[in-house]
Structure 1
Amino acid sequence: MKKGTLFAFVALLALMLVGCNSKALNSDGKKYIIATDASYAPMENMDKDKIVGFDVDFLAEVMKEAGINYELKNVGWDTLLESVKQGNEYQGAISSVSITDERKQTYDYTAPYFESINMIMVKENSTVKNANDLKDKKVAVQISTTADTIMSGIMGMDNANLKKFDSNAVALMELEKGGVDAVVADIAIVREYLKNNPNKKFKSIQDLGSFTPEYYAILLPKGSELKAKLDPAIKKVVQSKVYVEIYKKWFGEEPKVDNLLK
């Protein structure tokens, strides 16, 4: 083989290898900044100076599959919602964000990646059996969450007994010290708390009549270019063995994915 031909062949081979490895590269060279509120264990929380959790591991697999360069930053919940709406500093958010019709008016969502539902947590000796029993109780929720929306509908938007906090961690602390009778939060949050605090004598209540299944997705600004890039990657990861492994790592059980793939 002539030297010039050999050089051309090597160059072509290099280009082919780059093409085969395109998922590991960012086609436009852009880094996307993704926000999270890392106070939502086991979905996302701080372990010293590192953000960890189901959402963190899942996002890493999705971005690898999509070939997107990104950085995950911890911000407050309200800041997250407002910043993603503007789309300047943060180009998306993954933080156990439920898909709602109200939010769809302001944001775009990716394909869903997680099925959840709200639960009630009360003291073991509580007589509360469902959400309607909370009407005359003091209830803690995280502000601007679906738990906030549901309980505002049940108790009244301006009900002084509905205590709204910046994070579920603070809401749970309020229950611990007896400032409220119940906390309403996502199932993953309630289960994680009960698992880690078996001696505090709390219990969970599932009310399928008041709380219907919800689906988490990555939150995006309206018209975001990321949706077309992320949706196929999310669907592929959700169907993969990696998703099962990540789910088992954080929840110790098999995931439910049938409704995510409809």
Structure 2
Amino acid sequence: MFNTPAHAAKTYQVGTDAAYAPFESQNEKKEIVGFDIDILKAVAAKTGLQVKFINTPWEGIFASLNNGDRDIIISAVTITPERKQSMDFSEPYFEAKQLIAVGQNSKVVKLADLKSKKIGVQTGTTGDEAAQKLLGKTNPNIKRFESAPLALQELQNGGVDAVIADNGVVVNYITNNSKAKLKTIDDASFAKEYYGIAVKKGNKALLDQLNKGIAAIKADGTYDKIYKHYFGK
């Protein structure tokens, strides 16, 4: 029987909601794969961190960080002032924005056109917030789903008139589901968003390591290589 050395490196438990391709999803072998996964693996390789990815539903993902079940969250998490109050974020590693998806024959050309429409969103996301700003928090025309792809499937099936979600996910879905006959609409009111890696409030040591790793993979071309693989130029 082997003795574990006293200085064995801690394995950090990483929460990710693996239903958000191309950022995180499960392949046929049930392995968690995607842009976020490759980014954090590269960061870990640069800094000597040991990481283990755990599929964690979005609705409970931030609670899992605060209660100590997860040490790190990487799951296309937009850095917002509200979220900064309850967790700490790394430097941004991805720039995103919201996109509207509608059927190819839809007359919708801007966000304001959705005022009387049924909008599909993923619960608790910035897309959900955008729909709430437009329609009001309790409006029954906001249809919430566990994941953005589920909302997009509902759009494809005619159950909602539009979906508001992050551009990377919307474009990925439409590219891979050409039979869905969907198109995207960019609205000038959507601000740029930045994804960050989240850690528990006050965990400065871990945050410093993550930031060091992000800087290193941006400096040596690793980041660009991963980005190009998932998003082209």
Short-chain TM bin: over 0.9
The C-alpha deviation readout for 1:96-133, integer Å capped at 9, x for no partner, is: 00000010111110111000011000001111111111
Structure with the largest fraction of helix = 1
Instruction: Give yes or no for contact 1:118–1:147 (8 Å, CA) kept in 2.
Output: yes
**Which structure has the greater CA radius of gyration?**
1
TM-score, normalised to structure 1's length?
0.83
Alpha-carbon offset, residue 28 of structure 1: 6.6
Q: Which amino acid aligns with 2:200?
A: P
Counterparts of 2:58 and 2:199 in 1: how far apart (Å)?
Answer: 15
Alpha-carbon offset, residue 199 of structure 1: 2.3
Matched with 2:4 is: none
The C-alpha deviation readout for 1:191-231, integer Å capped at 9, x for no partner, is: 111111122211001112x2111000101111113111111
Q: 1:69-84 counterparts in 2 under 5 A?
A: 69-84=50-65
3-state DSSP class of the match of 2:25? strand
Q: 2:187 aligns with which of 207, 224, 239?
A: 207
Q: 1:217 aligns with which of 196, 200, 209?
A: 196
Matched with 2:49 is: 68
Instruction: Give yes or no for contact 1:172–1:183 (8 Å, CA) kept in 2.
Output: yes
Matched, 1:30 2:26: no
Counterparts of 1:238 and 1:114 in 2: how far apart (Å)?
Answer: 11
3-state DSSP class of the match of 1:95? coil
Unaligned 5+ runs, structure 1: 1-26, 254-262
3-state DSSP class of the match of 1:61? helix
Q: 1:128-207 counterparts in 2 under 5 A?
A: 128-207=108-187
Alpha-carbon offset, residue 176 of structure 1: 1.3
Instruction: Give yes or no for contact 2:74–2:198 (8 Å, CA) kept in 1.
Output: yes
Matched, 1:242 2:214: no
Counterparts of 1:93 and 1:240 in 2: how far apart (Å)?
Answer: 24
3-state DSSP class of the match of 2:179? helix
Counterparts of 1:31 and 1:59 in 2: how far apart (Å)?
Answer: 13
TM-score, normalised to structure 2's length?
0.93
Alpha-carbon offset, residue 240 of structure 1: 2.9
Counterparts of 2:8 and 2:108 in 1: how far apart (Å)?
Answer: 54
4+ runs of 1 displaced by more than 3 Å?
none
Counterparts of 1:155 and 1:70 in 2: how far apart (Å)?
Answer: 41
Alpha-carbon offset, residue 184 of structure 1: 0.6
Counterparts of 2:214 and 2:227 in 1: how far apart (Å)?
Answer: 14
Q: Which amino acid aligns with 1:44?
A: E
Counterparts of 1:98 and 1:239 in 2: how far apart (Å)?
Answer: 23
3-state DSSP class of the match of 1:56? helix
Q: Number of aligned residue pairs: give it.
A: 225
Alpha-carbon offset, residue 85 of structure 1: 2.1
3-state DSSP class of the match of 1:164? strand
Unaligned 5+ runs, structure 2: 1-6
Q: Equivalent pairs: percent with the same residue?
A: 41
Instruction: Give yes or no for contact 1:94–1:218 (8 Å, CA) kept in 2.
Output: yes
Instruction: Give yes or no for contact 1:139–1:163 (8 Å, CA) kept in 2.
Output: yes
3-state DSSP class of the match of 2:66? helix
Counterparts of 2:114 and 2:102 in 1: how far apart (Å)?
Answer: 10
Counterparts of 1:201 and 1:239 in 2: how far apart (Å)?
Answer: 40
Q: Which amino acid aligns with 2:225?
A: E
Counterparts of 2:174 and 2:150 in 1: how far apart (Å)?
Answer: 15
